[in-house]
Amino acid sequence: MARQSRRTRRSGVMSTKTQNTIGQEGCEGARQLRHDWSVDEILTILTSPLSELVDQAQSVHRKWHEEGTVQLASLLSIKTGACPEDCKYCPQSAHYAKDTGLEKEALLDVDTVLASARAAKDAGATRFCMGAAWREVREGEEFNRVLEMVSGVREMGMEACVTLGMLDQSQADRLAGAGLTAYNHNLDTSPEFYSEIVSTRGYQDRIDTISRVREAGITVCSGGIIGMGESERDRAAMLQVLANMNPHPESVPVNALVPMPGTPLEAREPVEPEEMVRMIATARIVMPRSRVRLSAGRKALPKEAQIACLKAGANSIFYGEKLLTTPNPDTAQDLAMIREAGLRVLEANSKEG
């Protein structure tokens, strides 16, 4: 994948077509949001000379966001393992439990979750995300417990986000009634490559869930994962689906695959740092208003690469030593990195918070 990326990427002086695409669609796009991107346009941006790409992303970022700030978001697994989905990257899938050794854990109680949220807030996080390894939301005591968690987090003055799998409209409405800020439902990859990664849930199922979240008045958090064997065109196609949503997702997490032992993708090569920078910068250009989140896979990225991602348009990181079941840099390292980059932590009362 890395060798293919370098072969397809231009070098030297930016071509006229690339200048037009990035210059007009990037900078002009910062003044007028677009929802009619083609895959070819986005691919041209993604594969353009790196310095030009980052420069344009920075220009777009300055027009739409408070410069120099990074939102800290904390992510907690509130129900772990035994998920019936067969996502090839995920150690929580019941399909791979024999090989991953990850045991099922019951849904946490409300007090335990809210204690974690308070600790995250005390450490500087303004957004608290809760993930349950479910294929879909089911009515009953467990869902009622999640609604209590959402209400409790909101009462602390934090943004509350959950990822619970598919849900129907009445469930989305109930989450909205509890005060939910955002619902995470990633696309994972392009429509064309999706069947190589997941077979137990269709791509349209994901789009339908996002539509129900939007209908309920909850903001959308949706992104994907790179490094699963997809092509650069697949990456551009995933961004196209997101960028052509109207409105754009308010939150776009960009993840690098963390190859987990026992999963079908355990032998994948690590994502090259430049690939993450390119995805972050391209997401920033085509979705100017969105908060782009540098998400899973950071622990394998050199500090300099993470800073480059922040400079290229990422304005949030997930904060804490674990993201659901995957490792993450510790909090002291992250705060030191943010200071070294000349950035500051976004506070709860910020105009962007």
- Who has greater pLDDT, 322 or 221? 221
Q: Which element (helix H / strand E) includes 5?
A: helix 2-8
Distance of CA 285 to the CA centre of its chain: 16
Tokens of 43: 């691919």
Q: Three-state SS for 109?
A: coil
On the question of pLDDT at 232 being above 80, the answer is yes
On the question of pLDDT at 20 being above 80, the answer is no
- Identify the DSSP state of 25: I
How far is it, in rounded angstroms, from Cα 42 to Cα 282?
7
On the question of pLDDT at 330 being above 70, the answer is no
On the question of pLDDT at 325 being above 60, the answer is no
Instruction: From the options 3.40.50.150, 3.40.50.300, 3.90.950.10, 3.20.20.70, give the CATH code of 69-273+289-345.
Output: 3.20.20.70
Which sequence spans correspond to the domains of the chain? 2-61, 69-273+289-345
Percent above pLDDT 70 for the chain = 86
Query: What average pLDDT does the segment 321-348 reach?
Result: 73
What was the pLDDT predicted at 321? 56
Of 33-42, 229-238, 250-259, 291-300, the range with the lowest mean pLDDT is: 291-300
Tokens of 221: 């958090």
Q: How confident is the model at residue 327 (pLDDT cuts 50, 70, 90)?
A: low
What does the angle CA 118 – CA 120 – CA 124 come to, to the nearest 5 degrees?
Answer: 115
- Taken in order 28, 252, 352, 300, is the CA torsion positive or negative? negative
What was the pLDDT predicted at 18? 44
Instruction: Name residues whose C-beta falls within 8 Å of residue 33's C-beta, 6 or more positions apart in sequence.
Output: 247, 248, 288, 289
On the question of pLDDT at 155 being above 90, the answer is yes
pLDDT tens track for 40-87: 999 999 999 999 999 999 999 989 987 788 888 888 889 887 788 888
- Identify the DSSP state of 199: S
Task: List residues with catalytic annotation.
Answer: 83, 87, 90, 129, 161, 221, 293
On the question of pLDDT at 11 being above 80, the answer is no
Query: What average pLDDT does the segment 295-306 reach?
Result: 85
What was the pLDDT predicted at 67? 74
What was the pLDDT predicted at 85? 86
On the question of pLDDT at 224 being above 90, the answer is yes
Of 80-89, 142-151, 190-199, 242-251, the range with the lowest mean pLDDT is: 80-89
Per-position b or e across 199-223, b if 16+ CB within 10 A of its CB: eebebebbbbbbebbbebebbbbbb
Distance of CA 35 to the CA centre of its chain: 19
pLDDT tens track for 266-283: 999 999 999 999 999 999
Instruction: Note the pTM of the prediction, 2 decimals.
Output: 0.86
What was the pLDDT predicted at 148? 96
Cβ atoms of 260 and 91 closer than 8 Å? yes
Instruction: Kindly report the number of other CB atoms within 10 A of residue 102's CB atom.
Output: 22
Of 207-211, 220-224, 312-316, the range with the lowest mean pLDDT is: 312-316
Query: What average pLDDT does the segment 215-219 reach?
Result: 97
pLDDT tens track for 26-53: 444 444 799 999 999 999 999 999 999 9
Distance of CA 71 to the CA centre of its chain: 13
- Who has greater pLDDT, 350 or 299? 299
On the question of pLDDT at 8 being above 60, the answer is no
Distance of CA 88 to the CA centre of its chain: 18
Query: What average pLDDT does the segment 255-264 reach?
Result: 92
